[in-house]
Structure 1
């Protein structure tokens, strides 16, 4: 196992209806760059990586604890960039991938939006990500992720070694969602039927809350169908392919594939704003970085 090279640990508390950042710890190259109030008592947090990205063999750990009735929005300042694996004198790659582990603990009544910038996998990169979420009653999590196939403007397209992604969600001690993804471009036929086809980028919006039900999933799907027909979500011949599904309990997931990262970002932002407005009557806002 690689040694931990960057860590963030932070907790949040509610003070008379306003969320405050409480105990926190960070180690280089990770840090909480900014924390400031949003509307409706929500606390905004920006995470910064002071290095050029996740280097070969690095291991990042992020642990977040959201106290009762807290309201938090978390993002980072730029893409998470995963650099190539190191080679030895004989040209062999290291057998230790770069890693990121995230743990989110949501206490009763907490409301969390966790929307990081996309993940960029450089040529010859190997990266393993594990996210563990534990939720108490009446808590809510809106979380997104976007995976890029490489620096496409440099001609990198699925030239990384491996990408593993795992997420598990436990609600009131009951496992309500689990997903595992493993991509090895050199040994998989990604463009075949049942694979990625002509698509190169993949994005997901997770909405976990007791308020999610079949009616909400249908309304979200209808909304996305409507904007997909009314607005130009395809540029230069690329097309978005998406779906809306429910989890075992208390969850709705939007999955989307495309060929341009900004198209996925725009699409998932619309889905996020619809969810926060329909389920929680929260006004949309523009996130500035």
Structure 2
């Protein structure tokens, strides 16, 4: 827990406190597959504000199931804590997404915490591609992701960060955004990526951060058994036609590829992240991503 967010957590909330009713969302999911049968959701513990009506079998990849998490509240407010855990059992295939963007509302105290833990066991393929995270004025958001992947499994994680919110205010007028991802392959750390933005202390639009751009997109492809150099080259070539500044880098121990895209519009950055995801799927599974029907 970053010290600043520990301090935020001590601040009094005039409404329902942190972890109060409707403010502690939990989605604890386990998927499994037997032989050539479709992947099934065999265990699910879901607590408001998360909502899950079931799984979808619409993905073109054989055996892949789709899980779409819903949030009937429509936004994340001060004091909210949301925890997602997905365990993909051996040889299972699952795509996890959200119904819409995650909108972080204006705050006067405390903070919001979005936590995700993704585990892919031997031979599994797990994807977590949620909608964009949108920060409104004075919002505070801690976003943490932990990935554990077997040496012969794959995990793909996507993220699009939009700092201009939904109200009439200047971009990067939120209070504090801290995002951290750590990934391990058989307990060996292969990726530790952190972003800590406090616009009042340092303008994120300096050349060392996002420069003149306003939207940040990231795709992590953890595929220890794949040819990481070939995957990075394929994704890089795919992104040359997009109106974003983007690059692809090979992870430690050739454990996969990380992609970063910077742009002026969320639609452009989202399209670039989806193109990288599509290319990774083609390389790893032989079938592209189901981009139709994703609001584009």
Q: TM-score, normalised by structure 1?
A: 0.89
In structure 1, the residue corresponding to 2:284 is in which secondary structure? helix
| Alpha-carbon distance change, 216 to 52 in structure 1, aligned in 2, over 3 angstroms | closer
1:145-160 aligned within 5 A:
145-151=159-165, 154-160=168-174
- Give the one of 29, 41, 63 matched to 1:10: 29
Counterpart CA distance in 2 for 1:222 and 1:77 is 30
Counterpart CA distance in 1 for 2:114 and 2:128 is 15
Q: What does residue 246 of structure 1 align with?
A: 250
1:32-181 aligned within 5 A:
32-37=52-57, 38-39=59-60, 40-86=62-108, 94=109, 96-151=110-165, 154-181=168-195
- Give the one of 30, 44, 50 matched to 2:50: 30
Q: What does residue 216 of structure 1 align with?
A: 231
Report the alpha carbon displacement of residue 241 of structure 1 after superposing the two structures with TM: 1.1
Given that residues 160 and 215 in structure 2 are in contact (C-alpha distance below 8 angstroms), is that contact kept between their aligned partners in structure 1? yes
Structure 1: unaligned runs, 5 residues or longer = 87-93, 234-239
Report the alpha carbon displacement of residue 197 of structure 1 after superposing the two structures with TM: 1.8
Structure with greater strand share of residues: 1
State yes or no: 1:204 paired with 2:194: no
Deviations 1:26-50 (CA, angstroms, capped at 9, x unpaired): 1111022341113311101100011
Q: What does residue 264 of structure 1 align with?
A: 269
Q: TM-score, normalised by structure 2?
A: 0.87
Q: Which moved more, 1:244-253 or 1:212-221?
A: 212-221
Counterpart CA distance in 2 for 1:28 and 1:133 is 24
Report the alpha carbon displacement of residue 287 of structure 1 after superposing the two structures with TM: 4.2
In structure 2, the residue corresponding to 1:272 is in which secondary structure? helix
In structure 1, the residue corresponding to 2:238 is in which secondary structure? helix
Q: Which moved more, 1:271-280 or 1:152-161?
A: 152-161
Given that residues 149 and 156 in structure 1 are in contact (C-alpha distance below 8 angstroms), is that contact kept between their aligned partners in structure 2? no
Structure 2: unaligned runs, 5 residues or longer = 1-8, 10-17
Given that residues 57 and 85 in structure 1 are in contact (C-alpha distance below 8 angstroms), is that contact kept between their aligned partners in structure 2? no
Counterpart CA distance in 2 for 1:152 and 1:198 is 20
Q: What does residue 236 of structure 1 align with?
A: none
Aligned residues: 270
Report the alpha carbon displacement of residue 158 of structure 1 after superposing the two structures with TM: 0.7
State yes or no: 1:255 paired with 2:260: yes
Deviations 1:87-120 (CA, angstroms, capped at 9, x unpaired): xxxxxxx2x2111111111111110121110000
In structure 2, the residue corresponding to 1:32 is in which secondary structure? coil
Given that residues 142 and 208 in structure 1 are in contact (C-alpha distance below 8 angstroms), is that contact kept between their aligned partners in structure 2? yes
Counterpart CA distance in 2 for 1:53 and 1:201 is 20
In structure 2, the residue corresponding to 1:191 is in which secondary structure? coil
Q: What does residue 237 of structure 1 align with?
A: none
In structure 1, the residue corresponding to 2:51 is in which secondary structure? strand
